[in-house]
């Protein structure tokens, strides 16, 4: 999932899709409309941000 999301963000950064179109693309559920699945090499999570009560518990 993280690799698919990353590919879509890259496409948005390259102006291949509009960032504001991403919610509609997710709603359609057709992966062919989004960015590519990125390769696993070098992809790792460094930090998460949470809003609301969960975010307060983690600070």
Contact between 11 and 35 (Cβ < 8 Å): yes
**Residue 37, domain extent:** 2-58
pLDDT at 5 over 60: yes
Q: What share of the chain is helix, strand, coil (3-state, %, to 5)?
A: 55, 0, 45
SS3 (DSSP) at 57: helix
Contact between 1 and 26 (Cβ < 8 Å): no
Q: Which residue has the higher pLDDT, 46 or 4?
A: 4
Counting the structural domains of the chain, the total is 1
pLDDT at 59 over 60: no
Q: Which residue has the higher pLDDT, 22 or 55?
A: 22
């Amino acid at each position: 999932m993280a690799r698919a999301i990353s590919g879509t963000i890259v496409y948005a950064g390259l102006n291949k899709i509009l960032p504001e179109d991403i919610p509609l693309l997710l709603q359609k559920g057709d992966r062919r409309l989004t960015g590519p699945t990125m390769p696993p090499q070098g992809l790792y999570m460094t930090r998460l941000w949470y809003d609301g009560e969960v975010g307060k518990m983690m600070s």
